[in-house]
Amino acid sequence: MNHEPQIAIEVEDLTVAYHHNPVLWDIDLSIPEGVISAIVGPNGAGKSTLIKAMLRLVPISSGTVTFFGRPLDEMRRSVAYVPQRSEVDWDFPTTVHDVVMMGSYGALGWIRKPGRREREKAMSALEKVGMVEFANRQISELSGGQQQRTFIARALVQDANILLMDEPFAGVDAATEQAILAVLRDLQQAGKTLVIVHHDLLTVKSYFDHVILLNVHTIADGPIERTFTEENLERAYKGKFSAMKGRIDESVV
Amino acid sequence: MSLLYDLFFDYTLRNVALGTLLLGLGSGAIGSFMTLRGESLIGDAIAHATLPGVVLAYLLTSTKDPLLLLSGAAIAGILGIGAIMGLTRTTKIDSDGANGIILSIFFGFGLLLLTYIQKLPDASQAGLDRFIFGQAATIVASDVALIAIVQGVVLLTLILFFKELKSSTFDPQSTTVMGFNRKIIDAIFATLLVAVIVTGLQTVGVILISALLVTPAAAARQWTHSLKTMVILSSLFSGISGMVGSLISATEMNLPTGPIIVLVLTAIVVISLLFGSRRGLVIKKVSQYRRQGHFDERRILLALDELSRSHDQRGLYHSHHTISLLVGERHSMRRLLAKLVKEGAILKEGDAYLLSKQGEATVASLALEEVHHDR
């Protein structure tokens, strides 16, 4: 692991519009390999849309996105996506173990069925997120935090180098938040690059080492110390930030 | 008995039974995916959209060869589903709206064409309207063979692509990111759906074919939490209803097949909604009642524990009334107290109660459990 950090994700001139309204406008940014990066910005800034656009889940009007210098289609095995919990129907008839096993489908490719190897991989991923005892649980019976950990376990099974996560800390209790954070730190230790849409400004400094400040445009992106500044936050949140400032100062120290 | 005899030896009845059974197997299976994708209405829209295809095929060729008519239906069905997907993708119309628009436009056009050919002097057009309500008694061995081949291919494709269909139904975005092209999966699904619907037109008809897709899936969901089991159950429910319904319709010759099959399906769905082992109303009520009872038992034990703590003198019995004050009045109080006495958790003297040693241990373990939960 003793090589120069490369650029894991490079976004150039990315523009996304829904029905002629720009949601993301001329985004340029680069995320170095091995960081835990937060995408931060006010509501409607296009945070979720940014990772969806990177993954071509929403149509882009212009621009390019590359992963380690290559287009997504050549890098699908290396990229995993953890959507927001609310994006799927948790009433779907299936178990936790089964959902986690879906992480192996990409490597299996079309038609081939998962076997013992895939089942074991799913179990070991469940172990990493502390969900082994829930393996056979129907997914409709999970709490928010358990749903989130199930999704993360599925991403672990994908064994990707780059993980893009949409609000993994939303609506989970404090203990689960710490458990998820520990898993993310392990992933970083293993050399993975993590990009996380995050809403809680109070924890940005302690959880992340890289940040992307977004508000339709890229306000700033780079290492936390240099980028997560009062001035940049003020520009991203346009005055709404002053109200929150006091609390942030306390937590940042 | 005679029906059973006829089933094996009567040519028409055997065809009808076999045809609708096979039709049901495929439609129930693909119907599960349709409802789980949140697209329950699309089957109905496609079915209605096939009508102009049938009539146009007849107008262009002047034959009533089922293979030709059904090919026309398939083309119209594919156009219909393509139009629905196109509308939702390029406009702000949602899928309900798109289904409604396409259904009415295509079906309206089909009815118009049907009226037109009925005015033609040639009498051989008579009978095309059976595609609207379905008439199982009219199918012959070659029709059954066609149904068997199509449904066989449908089931085989479902088995082959089960993993892809499952993953994309549950989480289409992640499935796309993993490298499964959404358009290919959608195309597979749409093709299977059109195939099933088209083969059902002769027997069940345009209007009611969607019941064979949606209803068995809804019934099956009540009995299981596993997708595989749901698909199999739905397939069986649909197959059995198809066969039973068409047999009833064939014996009473004046009854159209579609409505009778729907009646049988209705019986299955009502039974499932009431008694389904996973989500049925009865099982839900029973487990709710049990949970409540279990919860109240704990509260009685905790109340007795609290009472004994609040008195200096140990070993005092507390009246039913006092316990009720702490736990809240319950109709089930007497029954629960009697049950706890029987289990040895509490001791009874007249109408007063005291925690036994065993009961104290239970309370202690409850307290531990609580700490564990908070962690």
Question: CATH no. for residue A191?
Answer: 3.40.50.300
User: Chains A and B: how many Cβ contacts under 8 Å?
Assistant: 82
Paired strand residues for A211: A38, A222
Q: Give the model's pLDDT for residue A243.
A: 57
Res. A53: pLDDT tops 60: yes
> Using one digit for the tens of pLDDT, what is the confidence trace for B248-272?
887 766 677 888 899 999 999 999 9
Distance CA A251, CA A171 (A): 20
DSSP-derived letter for residue B244 is H
Mean pLDDT for chain A? Answer: 91
Distance CA A230, CA A232 (A): 6
Domain definitions of chain B by residue range: 2-210, 283-374
Q: Give the model's pLDDT for residue B349.
A: 83
Q: Quick one: which of B133, B125, B126 has its CA closest to B249? A: B133
A24 within domain boundaries: yes
First-last CA distance in chain A: 33
With cut-offs at 50, 70 and 90, classify the pLDDT of residue A81: very high
Query: The tokens of A77 are what?
Result: 């095995």
Complex ipTM: 0.92
Say if B182 is an interface residue toward chain A (CB within 8 Å).
no
Determine the average pLDDT of the residues in A208-232: 93
- Tokens 């139009």 locate to B83
- Give the domain range for residue A217: 7-85+161-252
Domain tally, chain A: 1
A129 within domain boundaries: no
> Which comes out higher in pLDDT, residue A3 or A166?
A166
Say if B176 is an interface residue toward chain A (CB within 8 Å).
yes
Residue of B nearest to A59 (CA): B89
Q: Quick one: which of B187, B186, B185, B200 has its CA closest to B151? A: B200
The C-alpha of A177 sits at a distance from chain B's nearest C-alpha, in angstroms, of 13
| CB within 8 Å: B163 and A52 | no
- On whether the B2-210 domain is CATH 1.10.3470.10, my answer is yes
With cut-offs at 50, 70 and 90, classify the pLDDT of residue B343: confident
| CB within 8 Å: A88 and B171 | yes
> Does this chain's domain B2-210 share its CATH topology with B283-374?
no
Which residue from A76, A88, A102 is facing B179, i.e. has the nearest CB?
A: A76
Q: Give the model's pLDDT for residue B8.
A: 67
Res. B75: pLDDT tops 90: yes
Cα B67 to the chain's mean position, in Å? Answer: 30
H or E element: which one contains A39?
A: strand A36-40
Say if B291 is an interface residue toward chain A (CB within 8 Å).
no
> Which comes out higher in pLDDT, residue B8 or B135?
B135
H or E element: which one contains B253?
A: none
Res. B374: pLDDT tops 50: no
A107 within domain boundaries: no
Q: Give the model's pLDDT for residue B346.
A: 87
> Using one digit for the tens of pLDDT, what is the confidence trace for A151-166?
999 999 999 999 999 9
Res. B163: pLDDT tops 60: yes
A143 within domain boundaries: no
Contact B110, B54 (CB under 8 A): yes
Three-state DSSP at A164 gives: strand
Res. A221: pLDDT tops 80: yes
The domain B283-374 is placed in CATH, from the list 1.20.150.20, 3.90.550.40, 1.10.760.10, 1.10.10.10, at: 1.10.10.10
Determine the average pLDDT of the residues in B88-107: 92
Amino acid found at B199: T
Distance CA B366, CA B368 (A): 5
The C-alpha of B257 sits at a distance from chain A's nearest C-alpha, in angstroms, of 32
Res. A110: pLDDT tops 60: yes
**B147 φ, ψ (degrees, to nearest 5):** -60, -45
> Using one digit for the tens of pLDDT, what is the confidence trace for A231-241?
899 889 876 66
Interface test mutation site (partner A, options B88, B171, B174, max chain A beta carbons within 10 A) = B174
Q: Give the model's pLDDT for residue B368.
A: 66
Interface test mutation site (partner B, options A18, A54, A55, A81, max chain B beta carbons within 10 A) = A81
